[in-house]
Structure 1
Amino acid sequence: MSAGLHQPRPRVRHLGILVGPLATGTHDAITDVAGVRVGHTTVHDGDRVHTGVTAVVPDQLGLGLPGRERATLPCGLFVGNGFGKLVGATQLAELGAIETPIVLTATLSAFRAADALTTWMLARPGHEDVRTLNPVVGETNDGLLSEIRARPVTEAHVLAALDGATFGPVATGSVGAGTGTAALGYKGGVGTASRVVDVAGRAHTVGALVQSNFGGTLTVRGVPLPAAELLAEEERAAESANGVEDGNSCMIVVATDAPLDARRLTRVARRAVFAMGHVGADFSHGSGDYALAFSTAAPDAPLLADAHLDPLFAATMDAVEEALLDSVFTATTTLGHRGTRHAVPLEPALARLRAAGVIAGD
């Protein structure tokens, strides 16, 4: 088990790949939304297990912190395709609120993670008399690279991600819930990004975090980068021997400090799923594509009118698109339980993007 910030490959912005004209937050991460922390637990066991947990923890929920008594935050949910196991989804959709952090992990570990998240919440100060709780846990299927049937994620792993959640830079790629995922023909992972926009005369931040594990052809600013063309011959041979993944899914979490209710946040979440199309998602039958969007704004802040949402929609789509690209470009080649998924080969990819004018030439 490991945790902490380790970034072995550059993020796409550092490669010259820019998504949209909007400014980013300080860390270009979901943690640029004030009060939002992220924690990872990464689990490896030889070539057999590559999995983990990622926790998005909004401090505005209180969670025992002095002077913060909020029990819920407004949250919207959009389901692009419901082939997934989003624990807590029905109450979230019914009431338009979250009352726990959002935890991401592997498919068959989602239920153990939900129990661990419940344990963590019941131990928070102020929760001594709680009799009902709606833990929110999302998942994607990492069964190609990890022995998913072993359900290797334990309560200790979930608690470590929650307790270790921090502000500031967020590790991306093959970490946490993205340790064993595959996306768009390459190794997938966790990605994040943020945008700052002016909305009705006030600056607001939108941050996104993704767990990518879906099919299609990697596309960067309209330029296809098929694995069948970019990978070396021996890498292509290894890919063809791997067979088909058990699941193709994506979890997207969007946070904003803009004052929005659940209805408006659902509209934001819808745009987050739309952004998958920009990076080449095939939206296949087996792809469980979910987006959650929550607001950390003060509960008494006047809500933004629908007519003012366009900048937030644009910020969401750009942040999610960049986060999805980061999840793939920063992931590392992984030899796993039933196959291998290779990292994006940077030099061939960048050469194609330079030729297309997407990034500046040397």
Structure 2
Amino acid sequence: MKRKRLRDLGMGIGSYSCGQANSITDIKGVKVGHQTLYYEKNGETVRTGVTAILPHEGNMFREKVFAASHVINGFGKTAGTIQIEELGVLESPIMLTNTLSVGDVMKGTVQYLMEECPEIGDTTGTVNVFVGECNDGYLNDIRGLNVSPDDAREAIEKAHSGYIEEGCVGAGTGMLCLGYKGGVGTSSREHQFNEDLFTVGALVVTNFGRRTDLRFPVEKEREERETPDGSIMIIIATDAPMNERQLKRLAKRASFGLSRTGSYAAHGSGDIVLAFSTAHKVPHQPSEDNTLTFSFIKEDGEMISMLFEMAVDCVEEAIWNALAKAETTSGRNGREVEAIPLEVLTALRK
């Protein structure tokens, strides 16, 4: 049976409308690319990859976007959050991969950005690259360090708008979720606020939980495999003009979408959120004026609460889409993790 997204199964989350692709790429300028590694090598099984999210179509270092991160549970090895928290801007592609490949992905991304910007590390400062990770070592030979800097560059160069691949692709190739095969999922919401149409989109790499965590009836007897607590990377994008503090508030709402699926952020689960807005570009080298002027949404009305709800809904649906699109996958040591039966997801109607 061909794997289908949640809405193809006749279900949706929440009351807001989706964007055209029901994807993080519904935010204008945002692109996503995957580099998938799925092969056998010297007796070892490689099931891993890289996913790149480009916040806009221009030069990301010279034109930064407002951003913020939020740690739901900090059992993780994510790179780049410290400077984002300090300065409130994102200046690189958002890179996602497996835990032990953060360094190689960072190197490839730095190389890509230095080619675009010869001034980096010379006539101006260095660059802060964001790399998020989950542990795919249950299915993947993670010790083989099979992700190379070139794979990071490939993911960036493959990035495109519109409909994107989900499931066992890119960083999601070797991931598990709620006792089934996990992977990459995405979703979006849009709403007309007087004259302004604002969109919120989410992309996730799901690698958390066990079958017993599911909040609806499902066959759970077979869930006996010993797996790590797992992780999830959650990326939220919006075209609403939000500053870094408002984006921090938006990022915190991802935890509600995550918890709706059954997660309780187990001890060893690295649950990390990054949120950014494409509404404004922050120049790396501003003019000689002492100030920059931006406008942001008000926080004394229902608009920001509605944006919070949109974020919660699209995070939850992105997780279900990752499960719905993932396929049964064999891995190292003869292991196999089955895809969630699509009929199981119909329990969401109840």
TM-score for the superposition, normalised by structure 2: 0.89
Q: In 1, distance between residues paired with 2:149 and 2:260?
A: 36
Mapping of 1:145-164 within 5 angstroms?
145-164=139-158
Q: Which amino acid aligns with 1:263?
A: R
Q: In 1, distance between residues paired with 2:91 and 2:118?
A: 13
1:330 to 2:325 alignment? yes
Q: In 2, distance between residues paired with 1:271 and 1:195?
A: 14
Unaligned runs of 5+ in 1: 1-6, 230-235
Going from structure 1 to structure 2, the CA distance change for 1:32 and 1:186 (only over 3 Å counts) comes to: same
Mapping of 1:297-316 within 5 angstroms?
297-299=279-281, 301-307=294-300, 308-316=303-311
What is the percent sequence identity of the aligned residues?
Answer: 39
2:93 aligns with one of 101, 106, 115: 101
2:47 is paired with a residue whose SS is strand
TM-score for the superposition, normalised by structure 1: 0.86
Aligned equivalent of 1:341: 337
Q: In 2, distance between residues paired with 1:78 and 1:201?
A: 31
For residues 314-356 of structure 1, give each alpha carbon's deviation from its aligned partner in whole angstroms, at most 9, with x where no partner exists: 1100111100100111101111114221101123543x45xxx
Q: In 1, distance between residues paired with 2:220 and 2:201?
A: 32
Q: Which amino acid aligns with 1:35?
A: G
- Deviation for aligned residue 1:197: 1.6
Q: In 1, distance between residues paired with 2:109 and 2:308?
A: 30
1:194 aligns with one of 155, 176, 188: 188
Q: In 2, distance between residues paired with 1:110 and 1:92?
A: 17
Which shifted more, 323-332 or 334-343? 334-343
Q: In 1, distance between residues paired with 2:99 and 2:91?
A: 22
Q: Which amino acid aligns with 2:250?
A: V
Aligned equivalent of 2:290: none
1:92 to 2:87 alignment? no
For residues 130-158 of structure 1, give each alpha carbon's deviation from its aligned partner in whole angstroms, at most 9, with x where no partner exists: 44111100000000000101111011111
Q: In 1, distance between residues paired with 2:344 and 2:33?
A: 33
Which shifted more, 35-44 or 268-277? 268-277
1:251 is paired with a residue whose SS is strand
Would the aligned equivalents of 1:198 and 1:311 in 2 still touch at CA under 8 Å?
no
Aligned equivalent of 1:9: 3
Unaligned runs of 5+ in 2: 282-292
**Equivalent pairs, count:** 331
1:283 to 2:258 alignment? no
Which shifted more, 14-23 or 198-207? 198-207
- Deviation for aligned residue 1:12: 0.6
For residues 237-283 of structure 1, give each alpha carbon's deviation from its aligned partner in whole angstroms, at most 9, with x where no partner exists: xx53x4223x5100000111110110000000000122100111131
Aligned equivalent of 1:25: 19
1:51 to 2:34 alignment? no
Would the aligned equivalents of 2:237 and 2:277 in 1 still touch at CA under 8 Å?
yes
Q: In 2, distance between residues paired with 1:137 and 1:14?
A: 32
Q: In 2, distance between residues paired with 1:275 and 1:58?
A: 22
Q: Which amino acid aligns with 1:261?
A: N
1:228 is paired with a residue whose SS is coil
- Deviation for aligned residue 1:97: 1.0
1:40 to 2:23 alignment? no
Would the aligned equivalents of 2:106 and 2:149 in 1 still touch at CA under 8 Å?
no
For residues 87-139 of structure 1, give each alpha carbon's deviation from its aligned partner in whole angstroms, at most 9, with x where no partner exists: 01111111111110100000000111011111111111464644411110000
Would the aligned equivalents of 1:122 and 1:130 in 2 still touch at CA under 8 Å?
no
Kindly report the root-mean-square deviation, in angstroms, between the aligned alpha carbons of the 2 structures. Answer: 2.1
- Deviation for aligned residue 1:306: 1.7
Q: In 2, distance between residues paired with 1:136 and 1:57?
A: 11
Q: In 1, distance between residues paired with 2:145 and 2:299?
A: 43
- Deviation for aligned residue 1:82: 0.5
Going from structure 1 to structure 2, the CA distance change for 1:78 and 1:200 (only over 3 Å counts) comes to: farther
Going from structure 1 to structure 2, the CA distance change for 1:227 and 1:171 (only over 3 Å counts) comes to: farther
